[in-house]
Amino acid sequence: MKEHFLSFAAAILLAVPAFSQGSDALPFTRVDRNPVTSAFAGGGAAHNGTAAYSAFSGAAMLPFYIGSMDAGLSFQRWAPGFAPSSNFSIGAAWKFLPKMGVSLGYTLENEAPYEVFPAPGEPSGTFYPKNHVVAFGAGFGLGERFSIGLNVRYAREVVMVNRIYGGVAADLFGAFQPFPALRITAGLANLGTNVTSGNHSSSQPASVLAAADWSPALAPDHVLHVMADLNVYLAGDYSATAALEYSWAQMLFVRAGYRLASETCVIPSHLALGLGVRFAGFRADLSYLTASPIIGNTLNIGLGYSF
């Protein structure tokens, strides 16, 4: 199985020169809606602690999720000091076989309203831009250690009454778990259709992603996850993320992550902090982004239930 995974990862990396990308279209599709992984600064692609929002990311982790069902609802106040938006997301995953699962997700993003002026000095009202993302994911286990995952989503951006853009994108990932404490995943993220505006066509912010999650053995009630993610965008940008999660008795979670990104990357460099509590299947999670003039003070709060 290890040889199969390495072949898959090599094929993904060799595919990079075959694609090109202009300015990013529908950039909001790369915003992390998950209140857990957003505390990893958008990393944690190989983390299997939650599955509710896996329709928005690599569904290859679904076969390694330890539960059967996971659902979540989140509110995100994105970039309040720069380009504020209020985002509501809902997601659910169902692992109906030991090595097979599906997930669904929806996001409504409300951007800052603005006055409409059909003629100079004559405002006709206020327009409220809205973005929508509908996502589906499926993960399939191949033996005990290998899995593949596919995500498909449709994004729609309503900039003005007569200016609406949309596009379809997909993620294709493979994952390898050589032993229970280590998971590795790699694949293509957000590879989709071009979006046309007038005579200009832009592609969506696609990337090649590789990630690892290592859980060194500690005391039974103390679990540590050490995570690293690398994104190489097809437009030439990059991001690297390092993150930690400490949990006590699977009830209390403390999270942190830092993302280092190139200057024009769709999601900039930032620091993320987070907390989570879980009891009797119910959970509450919070993440806070800082150390960025663009997305600093972003807050994400979520509630969920799993079994």
Tokens of 4: 């199969």
Positive or negative: CA dihedral 60, 62, 63, 66: positive
How many other β-carbons are positioned within 10 Å of the β-carbon of residue 258? Answer: 17
Residues β-bridged to residue 162: none
pLDDT mean over 245-274: 97
pLDDT mean over 192-205: 88
pLDDT mean over 216-228: 94
Burial 134-149 (b: 16+ CB within 10 A, else e): ebbbbbbbbeebbbbb
pLDDT tens-digit readout, 35-77: 999 999 999 999 999 999 999 988 999 999 999 999 999 999 9
Is a pLDDT exceeding 60 seen at residue 297?
A: yes
* Alpha carbon of residue 192 to chain centroid: 16
pLDDT band at 123 (very low <50, low <70, confident <90, very high): low
pLDDT tens-digit readout, 223-246: 999 999 999 999 999 999 999 999
pLDDT tens-digit readout, 153-196: 999 999 877 789 999 999 999 999 999 999 999 999 999 999 98
- What is the Cα–Cα distance from 172 to 11, expressed in whole angstroms? 12
DSSP per-residue letters across 72-109: EEEEEEE-TTTS-EEEEEEEEEEEEETTEEEEEEEEEE
What is the overall mean pLDDT for the chain?
Answer: 91
DSSP per-residue letters across 103-163: EEEEEEEEEPPEEE-SBTTB--EEE--EEEEEEEEEEEEETTTEEEEEEEEEEEEEEETTE
Give the pTM: 0.90
Spatial neighbors of 145 by CB under 8 A, at least 6 apart, are: 1, 2, 176, 177, 178
Positive or negative: CA dihedral 47, 48, 51, 54: positive
| CA 229 vs CA 3, 137, 159: distances in Å | 21, 20, 32
Tokens of 212: 């690892």
